[in-house]
Amino acid sequence: MTAAAPPLTDRAQLVERVLARYGERTVAALLRHIPEQSPPYLYELAADYPARPGKGLRAALCLAACAAVGGRPERALNPAVTAELFHNAFLIHDDIQDGSELRRGTPTLPAAYGVEVALNVAHATHLLGHQRLMANRRELGDELAWRLFEETELMCRQTLEGQALEIAWIRDNACALVSADYYRMCLKKTSWYTFLYPCRSGLLVAEGAASDAARLDRFGWYLGAAYQIQDDVLNLVGSQADYGKEIAGDLWEGKRTLILIHLLERCTPAERARAERYLRGTRAQRGPDAAEDVRWLLDRMTAYGCVESAREAAAGLVAAAERELARVLAAAPPPAGLSEEGAEAQEFLLALPGFVVSRGR
């Protein structure tokens, strides 16, 4: 902990390596539990998103949190698979609701197969997640399985409520939002299931049902907020090849990002009126003619420094996440007292915040 931090490239390589290893392990286990016998367009499509190249961040956090405090990550594999299954189910729902065209570089399930198939696959993916939760009872015992179920219920509730907030803002054309509104939505919609839930699950598996599983919440939340803000930035100024999703898709969809909130706070009344007029319609109502408005919004966001200030907010959150993690790991077994995988898990967690804001996808 007190040793000099390795250069970012080494740390980034470490993160990529651990993500790849945990990801491979998790995806293999996930695919093993997808039924081979399938009615048409159901289980075989539940394997589609998980098999696409992704970061596997949630599973990696779960396994690393478990290993970093001295737990055996193989015991956390089932909860890690659960996190990935729920994540993929949420992604399908998200793609349906947003009318998104690309996911991880290829057409989304609704774009490729239609909404009716995609919706059913999302439900099947949820069901597979529930089956993994049930399997915890056999593998981890009643008490721990119940705690993990409670955490999953909370995670699902937070995610649905966050999604509801975002949908309502677009539907009701909310234009008087402040940054605290954005953070609340971000915590509920994305960060809980991406960061807080996997960390809590990993700690619970390592330490048992009585674990103070919330002690990585601040780390997870600051990291989650930074991750989402970075995602919002990449959506506007990233490269489609790296990002894997439609560039400026958030503007097309009228998403209330921190960047948009900053723009509405900073622009002139006339500009604000134009932005509000644009935001009033749905993506379908705007049609392809809205491309000029999208370009104009992007130009104003750059001119008013909104993208830059979002990056700065992300950097501040990353620094806070690093501080929080250092505080928690100070009370954990030192790397020398851990297995090789446990020591590496601590290094991975320490390197993750920097990786999040430097990523291209």
Partner 1 sequence: MPDAGRFSEVGEQGSRAVIEAAAVLEHELAAGRTDATAADDRPTGGHRLDPEEFGRLVQQVSEHTHQLIDAVAARLADNTAAAAAAHTRRLTANAHDALDLLLKLTTLTTESPDPAGRPGAGHRQEHGPLPEHGPQPRPGQHPDGPEGHQE
**Residue 225 or 251 with smaller CB distance to partner 1:** 225
Q: Within the chain, what is the greatest distance between any pair of CA atoms?
A: 62
Supply the minimum distance, in Å, between the C-beta of residue 188 and partner 1: 7
> What residue ranges bind partner 1 (CB under 8 A)?
154, 158, 179-180, 183-184, 187-188, 214, 217-218, 221-222, 225, 229, 266, 268, 303-305, 308-310, 312-317, 319-320
Torsion angle (degrees, nearest 10) of CA 149, 153, 154, 158: 150
**Residue 92 or 314 with smaller CB distance to partner 1:** 314
**Residue 25 or 189 with smaller CB distance to partner 1:** 189
Residue 192: Cβ within 10 Å count: 26
**Residue 49 or 195 with smaller CB distance to partner 1:** 195
**Residue 193 or 304 with smaller CB distance to partner 1:** 304
> Which residues, including other chains, have CB under 8 Å from residue 356's CB and lie 6 or more apart?
223, 226, 227, 230, 314, 318
**Residue 104 or 184 with smaller CB distance to partner 1:** 184
Q: Which residues of 308-345 are buried (b: 16+ CB within 10 A; e: fewer)?
A: ebbbebbbebbebbbebbeebbeebeebeebeebbbbb
Residue 181 · residue 264 · CB < 8 Å = no
Supply the minimum distance, in Å, between the C-beta of residue 235 and partner 1: 18
Supply the minimum distance, in Å, between the C-beta of residue 165 and partner 1: 12
**Residue 239 or 268 with smaller CB distance to partner 1:** 268
Supply the minimum distance, in Å, between the C-beta of residue 108 and partner 1: 30
Output the CA–CA distances (angstroms, integers) from residue 139 to 128, 132, 336, in the order listed: 16, 10, 29
Supply the minimum distance, in Å, between the C-beta of residue 163 and partner 1: 15
Supply the minimum distance, in Å, between the C-beta of residue 321 and partner 1: 9
Q: Is 55 helix (H, G, I), strand (E, B) or coil?
A: coil
Q: Is 43 helix (H, G, I), strand (E, B) or coil?
A: helix
Distance CA 31, CA 35 (A): 9
Q: Is 103 helix (H, G, I), strand (E, B) or coil?
A: strand
**Residue 103 or 262 with smaller CB distance to partner 1:** 262
Distance CA 327, CA 320 (A): 11
Supply the minimum distance, in Å, between the C-beta of residue 159 and partner 1: 13
Supply the minimum distance, in Å, between the C-beta of residue 265 and partner 1: 9
User: Of all helices (H) and strands (E), which one includes residue 300?
Assistant: helix 291-303
> Which residues, including other chains, have CB under 8 Å from residue 177's CB and lie 6 or more apart?
169, 256, 261, 264
Distance CA 93, CA 250 (A): 16
